[in-house]
Structure 1
Amino acid sequence: MILNAAHLKKSFVGETVIDDASFFLNEHDKAAIVGPNGAGKSTLLNLLTGELPRDEGEVTLKKGCTLGYLHQDNTLDSELTIEEELTKVIQPILDLEAELSLMQREMKHAEGAALEKLLAAYTEAEHRYELMDGYAARSRVTGIIRGLGFSEADATRPLSSLSGGQKTRVFLGKLLLEQPDLILLDEPTNHLDLESIEWLETYLMNYAGAVLIVSHDRFFLDRIVNKIFDLNHGKVTSYDGNYTQFTEKKEALAEAAARAYENQQAEIKHQEAVIQKLRAFNREKSIKRAESREKLLDKVERLDNPYEAKKDMALYFTPDEVSGNDVLSVEHLGKAFGDNVLFSDLNFSLKRGEHVAIMGGNGTGKTTLLKIINGLLPPDSGTVTLGTKVFCSYYDQEHQVLHPEKTLFEELQDTWPDMTNTEVRNMLAAFLFTGDDVFKRIKDLSGGERGRVSLAKLMLSHANFLLLDEPTNHLDMESKEILERAIRAFPGTVLYVSHDRYFINRTAT
C-alpha cells in the first residue's frame, strides 16, 4: 500500500464537502476520482497532499514515498527555455556524467594505486549512473517535449512566451521526468490535443509508480485505470475496474437499490394496512397486536429514496420542421489568418440525420470552420450552402452567445419573449437551476453551469441542424451521458468539434 486515506472530512463555511472518506492505493494502482462538478474532487486531492488542512482524518504515505502533483492551474515563471526547464530535472544525472568524464581523463595519466582508486570510484559512479537510467536521460527529455505536443522549434522558446495551457504542459513534463512513486493529476488532458493525450495514456499505462487522476475524459480513464473512487455527497465508494466497468456496476447497484426501496415501501404499506384493520376491530386483543406491529415497524431502518437523490438535466432536441435531404454543402473553402493558412480547397457535404464529428490537432481550424458555416466569420474563398428548410443552432465552447450581464431568467426570456415566467422557471429547473439560482448573472456562473444554460437555449431553438463546438467541455460525466442520449435520439443533423473520444464513439455516424 502506497497511500491510505482514513475518515477524511472537510467543510467550507458550514457546508461539508468531504464526509468520512476512506480509501487506499496500492503501489502500482492507476486510479481515478470521479463525481459530479462541485463534488469536491480537487479538494480531495488537496487534502491528500496537505495543501488544504483536514478537519478530521488521516493520510498515510508509504515511508520514503515521493509524490508529484499536477494542479489545474500550474504555472512556471522563468526565462529559461522549455528544454532548459525540463533539463533541470536531470541535472544530477548530468553532473554525474561530467564526473565520469573527468575520471576518464584522469585515468589516462594515472598509474598504480592512484589508478586502482580511480577505477574503483569510476565503477561505483557508473553503477549509480546506470541505476539513474543516465544513458536514456537526454532522450527522455526530448521524448517528453515531443509527446506533449511541442515542436523542435518550441523547445528553445522561453517559458515567459508561453500560454497558461502550454506552461501546464511543461509542468506535466517535469513531473513525468521526476518519476515520483505517486503522481496526482488534476485534469491532465485539459490542454492537450488528441495525439498528446494518446501519448500520455501510453506513458501512464507503462508507468512503474502509482497514479491518481481526476479527469472527465472517460476514454482516457478506460485505457489507464484499474480502480475508481466515486465521490458523491461527500462519500467515497471504491470500485475495481475501468470507467465503463464502474458505470455498469454502479447502474446495477442503483437498480438493486431501487428494487429494495420499492419492496420495502410495499411491505411498509402492507403492514400499515394490517395495523389499520386490527385497530378497526376495536378489541383489546387486536389493538395490542396492532401496537406490537407498530413497534416492529418503527424499528425498521428506512432505505433512502433513490429517486429523490438523483436529479438530472432533462435534455432532448425536437426540431420544429424536417429539413431537406441535402443539409450542407461546403465547396473549395479556404481560410487563413495572415500567413497562417488553416485550410484550403475544403469540400464536404452532409445529409439529413447524419451526426458528424470534426477531429484534428489544436490550431487546425476546427472552430473557425464551424464559425464560417454558422455565418460568424467570412471565408477567404469557396462557398457554404445550406439546404432547404435547414435551421441552425450553434453551441459555442466559449459561450460567447450568452450575455454576461444578464441573469439566467433574462437570458431565456429575452430570447423567447413568448414564454411565460412559469415556463422560463420550469425550463431552468429542468437544467438544475431552481429558486434564486435563476437570478444569478451569467458572468458569475461556473463553466459547467454556463454549459447547461447553453444547452437549454439549444434545446429551445428547435433547430434541425446543430453545430456544436466542444459541447462536453466543463460538463460532468452524468451531463455528458445525458447529452449523448439526446444527440443519439435527435432525428436532425449534427456537426460538432470534439476531443472527447468516448463521446465521439457514442454519437458520431
Structure 2
Amino acid sequence: MIACSVNKVTKMFGGNIIFSNISLEIQENERVGLVGPNGSGKTTLFKLLAGQEDPDAGHIHWKKGLKIGYLMQIPDFEDGLTAKEVLMTAYDELLEMEEKMRQLEEAMSLEQDQARLNKLMESYGHYLNQFTLQGGYEIEPNLEKIAHGLNIRDLLPRDFSTLSGGEKTKVGLALTLLRNPDFLLLDEPTNHLDLFAVKWLGSFLKNYRGTVLVISHDRFFLDEVATKILDLADGELASYHTNYTGYVKEKEERLLKEFHDYEEQQKKIKKMKEAIKRLREWANRANPPNEGLHRQARNIERALERMEKLTRPQLIRKKINLEMEASERSGKDVVLLQGVAKGFGQQLLFTHVNIHLSFGQRAAIVGENGTGKSTLIKLILQELSPDEGKVSIGSNVKIGYLSQHVFSDAKEETVLDSFRTEIPVAEGEARSILARFLFYGPMVYKKVSQLSGGERMRLRLAQLMYQDTNLLILDEPTNHLDIDSLQVLEDALENYDGTLLAVSHDRYFLNKLFNKVYWIETGVLHHFEGNFDYAEEKMKALLPDNTDIFNERSNEKVSNQSGSRSLPVKNKVTRDHSLEELESELKDLEEKISSLDLELQDIGDLERLQQVYAEKEGLEKRWHEIFDLLE
C-alpha cells in the first residue's frame, strides 16, 4: 500500500526553481535513501513532506492516519529541560495516562461505596489496558536501549540548551526513534555519530516496523539500510530499486543508454534535415518546381517538429576541482608519541599511547565518541600538552589541519576575504580558485556565517589545497560533504604524496584510503597494519567470545595503577554468572514479559490484572539487572 505519493510538485525559492514537476511513490515499510548534490533540494523536499512548507505547484498525499516523524538536522526545545526530559516528551500521552491511573489507584484505596468503587475499577481497567497496549511498561527499557545504541547516556542529565549542535542532533534522533512513527524522515542521521552508533542505527532501521526515508552521504550506511534510492539532481528526481552500490551501477548504465539514445536521435535529426534540404533543391531544379517533392519535404519537416527532442544527458556533474600535493618532503619520522597519557580532572582518557607515523603513511584513528580521538589530534597539533609521555613532530613537517568544526567562530568575513586571509593572492586569482570549489559570481561575497556546513567544508578545502603542507590532519572530513564532493576528496587524498592522519566514522572512506588504523578502546590504543575492516576483525578477536564490538559500550570506571584517576573499561560479567547463562536468562525474561503483555490485554478481573501487573514489574526489574550485567 502507498504510504506517500508526490504528484508533479514544484518548489521555488527567491524566484529560482529548486525542482520542478517531480513525482514519486513510497510504499509502506520501504526503506528509501535520498541522495543528490548539496543544494539540490533534499532538505526542502523533506520539509514539504513534513508539512513545514507548501509546494508552489502539485500535491502531496499521505495515507490517512499515518504518524510522521521528522528529524531536523538541529532540533530545538524550550530552555530548562534536560536531555532525558526532552526524550520523555515522546511519551507525553502515556505519562498523562499513568498519572490518571495513579489518581484512580488513590481514589480506589479511599472509596467505601461498592458501586462507586466498581465504577472506578472499571475506569482503571480501561486505562491500564490502553497503557499496556501502547507500551507504557516499555518506556524506560526503550529509552535505555536507544540512548545506549546512540551512545548518548552521558548527555541525559545535561541541560539540553547547553548541548552542542551535534549533541542536540543526536538527542533529536533518539527522540524521533522513541516516538516510533509510521514514517521516519531522517536528514543526515549519521552526522555526529561514531562508528558504533552508525552501525547500531543501521541495524535498528533495517528491522524498523515502518517506512524510512533517509538523506545520507554515508555510502556504507545506505548500502546497509536502503532498498531503494531516490536521486535528486538538477531539479529532477530519478528512482532506483536497489541499494546504493546497485544505484551507482544502474545510474551509469542509464546515463550511457540515454546518451546513446540522444546521439542516435541527433543522427536521425541530421538525416531528416539533409533530406528536407535535398528534396527542396531537387524540387526547385524542375521547371516548373516539383510540388510532389515540396510536399515530401513539408511532411518530413512536420514529422521533425512533432518529434519529442531528447535533452543531452549530463554525463559529468559539476564538482569541486581538488588536487592535493605535498609542498616538499618532511623528515622520515613525521609524528612520534611515546608513552602518552591524557585526562581531564579525575577522568583519564588514555594511557601508554604510542604512535609512529613515517613520511607518506596513511593512518586513521577510530573509536567511540568521548574516547579521546580529537584529544589525540590536539596533542599532535600541540594545542594540548600530555600529562605523561612525549609528543614529537619530525623535521620540516608542515601541517594542514581540517577541523570538523570548520569556521565555527566565523565573523562577518565574506568567502573571498576568508580565503585571502589564509591564501594571499590577488582578488581575480582568488575568485578563479573559488570557482573551482563551486563558489561562482556573487557567491564569493556571501558571509561565511551564512554558509551551510557543506559550503564551509568546501571553502576550507580550497584553503588547504593552496597551503604549504606535507602532513594533512583531518578530523571528520566527510561531515557535511555530498557524495560527489566526497569522491573528489577521496581521489585527491589518494594522489596526495605527503602523510595523512584522519579521524572518521565513514567506513567507506576509511577502507578506501587508510592502511594503518589506531583504535582507541577503554583507554588503550591498539595498532593494526591494515584497513578498517581488517582492524575490526582483529578487535573482535581481542574480545571474549568474539563479542560484537559495535554493541559494547564502556561506561563503568575502574582505578588505574596509581589509584588517583579513573579509566573507562568494559563492564565485566560477574563471577557467579557466565555470559551464556545471563543471555539465556535475559531471553527467557523477554519471552515471559511478552506473554504477560498478551495476557494483560484479555484480563477482565481487576484482582488478576493487578497480580499479572505485579509479576510483570518484577520480571522487568530482573531484566534491567541482567541488562546492566551484560553491558
Contact kept in structure 2, 1:357 and 1:504, CA below 8 Å: yes
1:322-362 deviations in whole A, cap 9, x for unaligned?
Answer: 45554332222333444444333321112343322111222
Single out whichever of 69-78 and 164-173 deviates more from structure 2. Answer: 164-173
1:25 match:
26
**Cα gap change, 1:14 to 1:368, in 2 (>3 Å):** same
2:565 match:
none
* 1:50 matched to 2:51: yes
2:473 match:
467
Contact kept in structure 2, 1:100 and 1:126, CA below 8 Å: no
Contact kept in structure 2, 1:100 and 1:125, CA below 8 Å: no
Q: What is the distance in 2 between the residues matched to 1:456 and 1:200?
A: 33
TM-aligned CA deviation for residue 154 of structure 1: 4.7
Contact kept in structure 2, 1:402 and 1:411, CA below 8 Å: no
Letter in 2 for 1:342: L
Contact kept in structure 1, 2:227 and 2:242, CA below 8 Å: yes
* 1:490 matched to 2:496: yes
Letter in 2 for 1:488: E
Letter in 1 for 2:451: L
Letter in 2 for 1:437: M
Single out whichever of 133-142 and 357-366 deviates more from structure 2. Answer: 133-142
* 1:371 matched to 2:378: yes
Q: What is the distance in 2 between the residues matched to 1:378 and 1:83?
A: 35
2:442 match:
436
Aligned pairs (5 A) from 1:74-85: 74-77=75-78, 79-85=80-86
1:267-286 deviations in whole A, cap 9, x for unaligned?
Answer: 65677778888899994589
2:35 match:
34
2:222 match:
221
| Percent pairwise identity | 39
Match of 1:436, SS?
helix
2:602 match:
none
**Cα gap change, 1:102 to 1:229, in 2 (>3 Å):** farther
Q: With CA pairs under 8 Å and 6+ residues apart, which has the higher RCO, 1 or 2? A: 1
Give the one of 476, 486, 490 matched to 2:482.
476
Question: What CA RMSD, in Å, does the superposition of the two structures yield over aligned residues?
Answer: 3.8
TM-aligned CA deviation for residue 62 of structure 1: 1.3
**Cα gap change, 1:82 to 1:318, in 2 (>3 Å):** closer
Q: What is the distance in 2 between the residues matched to 1:478 and 1:499?
A: 18
**Cα gap change, 1:176 to 1:273, in 2 (>3 Å):** same
**Cα gap change, 1:495 to 1:267, in 2 (>3 Å):** farther
Q: What is the distance in 2 between the residues matched to 1:424 and 1:171?
A: 39
**Cα gap change, 1:387 to 1:273, in 2 (>3 Å):** farther
* 1:91 matched to 2:95: yes
1:182 match:
183
Contact kept in structure 2, 1:96 and 1:129, CA below 8 Å: no
Contact kept in structure 2, 1:225 and 1:241, CA below 8 Å: yes
TM-aligned CA deviation for residue 377 of structure 1: 4.0
Q: What is the distance in 1 between the residues matched to 2:360 and 2:98?
A: 59
* 1:138 matched to 2:145: no
Single out whichever of 293-302 and 247-256 deviates more from structure 2. Answer: 293-302
> Could you tell me the TM-score, scaled by structure 2's length?
0.69
Give the one of 342, 355, 379 matched to 2:362.
355
* 1:507 matched to 2:508: no
Contact kept in structure 1, 2:423 and 2:467, CA below 8 Å: no
Q: What is the distance in 1 between the residues matched to 2:138 and 2:237?
A: 40
The aligned length equals: 505
1:390-419 deviations in whole A, cap 9, x for unaligned?
Answer: 4432222223599855544455555554x5
Contact kept in structure 2, 1:76 and 1:171, CA below 8 Å: no
TM-aligned CA deviation for residue 423 of structure 1: 4.3
Match of 1:359, SS?
strand
Q: What is the distance in 2 between the residues matched to 1:309 and 1:444?
A: 28
TM-aligned CA deviation for residue 478 of structure 1: 0.8
**Cα gap change, 1:86 to 1:320, in 2 (>3 Å):** closer
TM-aligned CA deviation for residue 219 of structure 1: 2.1
**Cα gap change, 1:458 to 1:270, in 2 (>3 Å):** farther
Single out whichever of 93-102 and 132-141 deviates more from structure 2. Answer: 93-102
Single out whichever of 366-375 and 247-256 deviates more from structure 2. Answer: 366-375
Match of 1:2, SS?
strand
